[in-house]
């Protein structure tokens, strides 16, 4: 079993829709959570960083962490065609020398 | 966040040749950099940790004699794929870890990646 599970999609939604992307993890040692966006043939770009349970909002993006359920989500409101990319969740354990464990990524397409 | 560059952005080489990929941290001094490999439609797999002033540490299953890493300065790390073969064709990405100044806010900023194709 992988330490981090992420639905690979692909996920296709109409423009303006609310998108929900999710990851689950099995190891409670993961304490810090990130979402990255990766466009085709580009490096990942950090979108959100959280380390406590609850919600964190940044513009159209909301990151949600539920440590008791070992479940994290990224919500995208009013999705745009420019949001079409692969979204990767990533996690880090306390004291892990900054090494990240990534989900497999969810490919999202927002249709105009 | 940190600005990270990679060069070249893509390279095609013949089987048996060596290829060097550079990773530069443009606005942040990094004693550590990470090298990842990504196959199509797959996630990033950590290959090795590049350490300034000491040897790189490699993940299990990564051949250190094949993937040579040199952390030449606080802003430059290089990955050399030696005697490349078609199965080494992949997307290679480096990252620079940074701290937000608060406990536990370390994260990583990634370069744009280098696509290697070995014929």
Q: What is the pLDDT of residues A10-33, one digit of tens each?
A: 999 999 999 999 999 999 999 999
In tens digits, chain B (119 residues) has pLDDT values of 668 999 999 999 999 999 999 999 998 888 889 999 998 888 899 999 999 888 999 999 999 999 999 998 999 999 999 999 999 999 999 999 876 544 445 678 899 999 999 99
Residue A36: DSSP 8-state: E
Using a 10 angstrom Cβ sphere, with 0-12 exposed, 13-18 middle and 19 or more buried, the burial of residue B12 is exposed
- Chain centroid to CA B89: 14
Query: Rounded to a whole number, what is the largest CA-CA distance in chain B?
Result: 47
Provide residues of B within 8 Å CB-CB of chain A. Answer: 1, 4, 6, 32, 34, 41-44, 46, 49, 91, 93, 95, 97, 100, 104-113, 115
CA distance A44 to chain B (A): 6
Considering only CB atoms, B43 lies closest to which of A49, A88, A97, namely A88
A-chain CB neighbours of B11 within 8 Å are none
A-chain CB neighbours of B6 within 8 Å are 43
Interface test with B, best of A96, A98, A104 (most B CBs within 10 A): A98
Q: What is the pLDDT of residue B101?
A: 46
Q: Give the mean model confidence (pLDDT) for residues A77-105.
A: 89
Q: What is the pLDDT of residues A37-54, one digit of tens each?
A: 999 889 999 999 998 889
Q: What is the pLDDT of residue B61?
A: 93
Cα pseudo-dihedral A3, A4, A10, A16, rounded to 10:
170
Cβ distance B68 to B79 under 8 Å?
yes
CA distance B90 to chain A (A): 11
Which neighbouring-strand residues pair with B90?
B116
Provide residues of A within 8 Å CB-CB of chain B. Answer: 8, 31-32, 34, 36, 41-46, 49, 51, 88, 92, 94, 97-100, 102-105, 107
Q: What is the pLDDT of residue B105?
A: 54
Q: Which two tokens stand for residue B22?
A: 């550079």
Q: Which two tokens stand for residue A74?
A: 């990224």
Q: What is the pLDDT of residue B103?
A: 44
A106 against A97, higher pLDDT: A106
A99 against B60, higher pLDDT: B60
């Amino acid at each position: 079993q992988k330490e981090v599970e992420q639905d690979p999609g692909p996920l296709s939604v109409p423009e303006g829709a609310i998108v929900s992307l999710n990851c689950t993890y099995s190891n409670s040692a993961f304490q810090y959570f990130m979402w990255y966006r990766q466009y085709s043939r580009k490096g990942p770009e950090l979108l959100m960083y959280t380390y406590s349970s609850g919600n964190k909002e940044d513009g159209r993006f909301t990151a949600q962490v539920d440590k008791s359920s070992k479940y994290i989500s990224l919500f995208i409101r009013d999705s745009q065609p420019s949001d079409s990319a692969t979204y990767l969740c990533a996690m880090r354990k306390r004291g892990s020398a900054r090494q990240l464990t990534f989900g497999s990524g969810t490919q999202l397409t927002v249709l105009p | 966040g940190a600005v990270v560059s990679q060069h070249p952005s893509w390279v095609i080489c013949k089987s048996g040749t060596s290829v060097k990929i550079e990773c530069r941290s443009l606005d942040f001094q990094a004693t550590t950099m990470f090298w990842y490999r990504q196959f199509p439609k797959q996630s990033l797999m950590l290959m090795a940790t590049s350490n300034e002033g000491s040897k790189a540490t490699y993940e299990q299953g990564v051949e250190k004699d094949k993937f040579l890493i040199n952390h030449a300065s606080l802003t430059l790390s290089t990955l050399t794929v030696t005697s490349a073969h078609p199965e080494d064709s992949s997307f290679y990405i480096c990252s620079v870890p940074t701290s937000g100044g608060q406990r536990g806010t370390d994260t990583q900023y990634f370069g744009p990646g280098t696509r290697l194709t070995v014929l």
